[in-house]
Amino acid sequence: MSREQLRRRRTSSAWPDEELGALIRALRRDTLQRQTDLAAATGISASQLSRLERGRRTGVSIDVLIALDTELGAEGRILAAARVVPPPAAALLSPLHRALNGRRLVDRTARAVAAVHHSALGEQLWERAGSAQSHRVQLAPLCRAAGLQVDLTDGRSLAVQLSEGRALVTIPVQPASPARLPLERFLVAHALAHTLYGQTTCTYPRTNTDEDAATAAACYLLAPSELLNRAAEDLRNRHSGDGMWSVGGAPALAEAVASRLGAPGWLTVRRLAEEGYLETIAEENCECSD
């Protein structure tokens, strides 16, 4: 491809989006709809829908994407593939949320709005459950509030099977292993997140749009900002004079906070990074070395 062709492709309003097109096409076929019928139901022409399914989003408004998501029962997957912020989540961020949904929406903005959405899901569920959070999140009352019954079983491979109001979680880790409880709590939170999103399938650890959203929501369910910050600050203050952070740094803090929250280490590192703690520790260590 020539430099001029690349330039035209970058500046074209018909930005290619093969993932979005493939998803719409697959969902349409799953629901046994013809292009003409789906186009009529969502207020666009059949030719425009055809271009969209081929990965070209020329002139497709946010309202059309929302209509497609609703008509195909996509439960937000079309909006996620299009990097469009779901209206309920965007409304939490700003009354001018439509300004965030333009073609130039950057990933960082999408992640920020998604974080607002995931944390709001947790807060709403805690309120429904009437569950006060002390040092770690209690998952049993949250599952009851969401109408989810979780059954745990041992197996050779990790799996989460969902059905109406139930989840069967298979864990390939021996009960006596220290890694068992954090993994178990994450998988229960992951199944709970799927339930909150109204999703009835789980392919974890294989990833897709639904799994990424459920994993992110599970991280906020297990390590909400209030508990994470309380644990991190308490531990940092407790060990401020013994050189623990200058020696162990971020891994030491992550391990201690993970133990306090009953969460996997990787999840705790992710949430500490989102809350800015890893950057703070790195800066403090640089100042000490100077």
pLDDT over 90 at 290, yes or no: no
| Paired tokens of 89 | 């989540």
- Only one residue has tokens 């109001």, namely 165
pLDDT over 80 at 67, yes or no: yes
CB 36 within 8 Å of CB 46 = yes
Order of all β-strands in the sheet with 159-163: 149-154, 166-171, 159-163
Longest dimension (CA), the chain: 70
Burial 80-104 (b: 16+ CB within 10 A, else e): bbbbbbbeebbeebeeebeebbeee
Average pLDDT, the chain: 78
Using only the alpha carbons of the chain, give its radius of gyration. Answer: 22
Render pLDDT for 123-134 as a digit per residue (tens, 0 to 9). 888 888 876 667
pTM attached to this predicted model = 0.61
In 3-state terms, what secondary structure has residue 263?
coil
**How many other C-beta atoms can be found within 10 angstroms of the C-beta atom of residue 181?**
14
pLDDT over 90 at 55, yes or no: no
